[in-house]
A and B are shown apart, each in its own frame.
Chain A
Amino acid sequence: MNSRRFPGAIAVVGGGPVALAAAVGFAKALPEASIEWVPAMVSDAALADRWPLVLPSAQAMLARLDCPPELLLRHGVATPRLATRFLGWGPGSSPWMVGDEPAPGPPGVALHQLWLRAETERPYHALNPVCVAGEAGQLAGNMQPALHCKARALSQGLASLARQSRVIMGQSPLTGVARGRDGVEALQLADGRELAVDFVIDATGPDRLVATSDGFNGWDDALPCRFLWIEPDAAAPSLVDTYQAVEGGWTARWPGAKATALVQGGGIPIATGRLDAPLRGNVLALGEAAVQPGPLGLTGFTLALAGLSLALDLLPVGGDTALLAAEYNRRVGQRADRMRDFLAAHQIGLASGADAVIPPSLATTLAQFTRRGTLTPVDEDSVERDAWIAVLIGQGLRPQRPDPIALGLSRDDARRLVANYNGQARAAAGKRGA
Chain B
Amino acid sequence: MAGDPMADRPVRVVVVGGGTAGWMTAAGLVGLLSKACTVHLVESEEIGIVGVGEATLPHLRLYLERLGIDEAEFMAATDATFKLGIEFRDFGRIGDRYIHPFGTYGRPLGGVGFHHYWLRRRAEGADVPPIGAYSAGVVAAETCRFERPGTDPDDPTTSFGYAYQFDATRFAPFLRAWAEKRGARRTEGRVVSIERNGGDGTVGAVTLSDGARIEGDLFIDCSGFRSLLLGQELAEAWEDWSHWLPCDRAVAVPSVRPDAPTEPFTRASATKAGWRWRIPLRHRVGNGHVYASAFCGDDQATEALLAGLDGAPLADPRFLRFRAGRRRRSFVGNVVAIGLASGFLEPLESTSIYLVQAAITALVEHFPDARVEAVDRDGFNAAIDAEYDRIRDFLILHYHATTRADSPFWNHVRTMTVPDSLAEKMALWRATAQVAHYRHGLFLEPSWIAVYLGQGIVPHGWDPRADRPDAAGLDRALTGLSRAIADRVGQMPPHDRALGLSGAGAAA
A interface residue numbers (CB < 8 A to B) = 1-6, 29-30, 64, 108, 312-315, 318-320, 323-324, 326-327, 331, 364, 367-368, 371-372, 374, 376-380, 400-401, 404-405, 407-408
Q: Is the CB of A312 within 8 A of B424?
A: no
In the complex, what residues of A have CB within 8 A of residue B350's CB? none
CA of A221 to CA of B365 in the docked complex: distance in angstroms? 32
Q: Is B150 an interface residue (CB 8 A)?
A: no
**Contact B462 A324, beta carbon cutoff 8 Å:** no
Instruction: List residues 433-474 of chain B with CB under 8 A from any CB of chain A.
Output: 434, 436-440, 460-465, 467
A371 with B461, Cβ < 8 A, contacts A64-B111, A324-B432, A401-B7 known: no
Is the pair A377, B427 in contact by a Cβ cutoff of 8 Å?
Answer: no
Are A320 and B434 also in contact (CB < 8 A) when A3-B460, A29-B465, A405-B32 are?
no
Of the residues A312, A320, A374, A379, contact of B111 by C-beta under 8 Å: A312
The answer to whether A3 touches B431 (Cβ under 8 A) is yes
Known: A323-B427, A327-B428. A408 touches B437 (CB 8 A): no
Asked whether A371 lies within 8 Å of B123 as measured between CB atoms, the reply is: no
Question: Are A4 and B461 closer than 8 Å at their CB atoms?
Answer: yes
Residue A371 contacts which of B375, B382, B438, B460 (CB distance < 8 angstroms)? B375
A residues in contact with B461, CB < 8 Å: 2-4, 319-320
Q: Which residue of chain B is the closest to A29 with respect to CB atoms?
A: B465
- Shortest CB-to-CB span from A216 to chain B, Å, is 25
Is B83 engaged at the interface, CB distance under 8 Å to the other chain?
Answer: no
7 smallest beta-carbon distances between A and B, as pairs: A404-B36, A4-B461, A3-B461, A407-B35, A404-B33, A371-B375, A3-B460
Give chain B nearest CB distance to A404 CB in angstroms: 3
Contacts known (A324-B434, A404-B36, A405-B33); A374 close to B376, Cβ less than 8 A: no
Do A4 and B464 contact each other (CB < 8 Å), given the known contacts A314-B434, A372-B366, A407-B35? yes
The minimal Cβ–Cβ distance linking A229 to chain B, given in whole angstroms, is 38
A315 CB contact (under 8 Å) in B123, B379, B465: B465
Interfacial residues of chain B within 146-177, with CB under 8 A of chain A in the complex: none
Q: B307 contacts the other chain (Cβ, under 8 Å)?
A: no
Main secondary structure of the interface of A (DSSP, over half): loop
Q: Is the CB of A371 within 8 A of B373?
A: yes
Q: Are A364 and B378 in contact (CB-based, < 8 A)?
A: yes
Number of interface residues of B (CB under 8 A): 44
**1/0 contact string of B29-66 vs chain A (CB within 8 Å):** 00011111100000000000000000000000000001
B36 engages A327 (CB within 8 Å): no
Question: Is A327 touching B434 in the complex (CB atoms < 8 A)?
Answer: yes
Query: Which chain A residues border B366 with CB–CB below 8 Å?
Result: 368, 372, 374
B460–A367 CB distance below 8 A: no
* Option from B37, B66, B378, B463 in Cβ contact (under 8 Å) with A367: B378
Q: Give chain B residues whose Cβ lies under 8 Å from the Cβ of A2.
A: 120, 123, 460-462, 464, 467
Given the contacts A312-B111, A379-B439, A1 and B36 also touching, CB distance less than 8 Å:
no
* Residues from 461 to 494 in B contacting A, C-beta threshold 8 Å: 461-465, 467
Tell me, in angstroms, the Cα distance from A186 to B432 when the chains sit together.
26
Chain B residues lying within 8 Å of A331, measured Cβ to Cβ, are: 437
Can you report 15 residue pairs joining A to B where beta carbons are below 8 Å apart?
A: A2-B120, A2-B461, A2-B467, A4-B464, A29-B111, A326-B428, A367-B375, A368-B379, A371-B379, A376-B382, A376-B383, A377-B439, A379-B438, A379-B439, A407-B36
Interchain CB contact under 8 A, A4 and B462: yes
CB distance from A32 to the nearest CB of B (A): 8
Check: B1 CB closer than 8 A to any chain A CB. yes
Q: Which residue on B lies nearest to A315, using beta carbons?
A: B463
B219 CB–A CB distance under 8 Å: no
Tell me the bound Cα distance from A431 to B164 in angstroms. Answer: 48
Q: Which residues of A contact B376 (CB under 8 A)?
A: 371-372
Q: Which residues does chain B contribute within 8 Å of A312, judged by CB atoms?
A: 111
| Per-residue interface assignment for chain B, residues 360 to 386, with 1 indicating a CB less than 8 Å from any chain A CB and 0 otherwise | 000011111100010110110011000
The reply to whether B464 and A408 form a contact with Cβ atoms under 8 Å apart is: no
Most buried by A among B366, B460, B464, B467: B464
Please give, as numbers and ranges, the residues of chain B lying within 8 Å of A327 by CB-CB distance.
428, 434, 436-437
With an 8 A cutoff between CB atoms, is B124 at the interface?
yes
Would you call B124 and A408 a contact (CB within 8 A)? no
A320 touches B431 (CB 8 A): yes
Q: With the chains together, A313 CA to B465 CA distance in Å?
A: 11
Nearest B-chain residue to A31, judged by Cβ: B468
**B375 proximity list for chain A (CB < 8 A):** 367-368, 371
Cβ contacts under 8 Å, A319 to chain B:
461
List residues of B (403-437) whose CB comes within 8 Å of A's CBs.
424, 427-428, 431-432, 434, 436-437
B34 close to A408 (CB less than 8 A): yes
Closest to A5 in B: B464
Whole-angstrom CA separation of A327 from B436 in the bound complex: 7
Please state if A404 and B460 are interface contacts (CB–CB under 8 Å): no
Q: What's the nearest-Cβ distance from chain B to residue A371, in Å?
A: 5
Interface string of B249-264 (1 = CB under 8 A from A): 0000000000000000
- The answer to whether A377 touches B1, judged by C-beta atoms less than 8 angstroms apart, is no
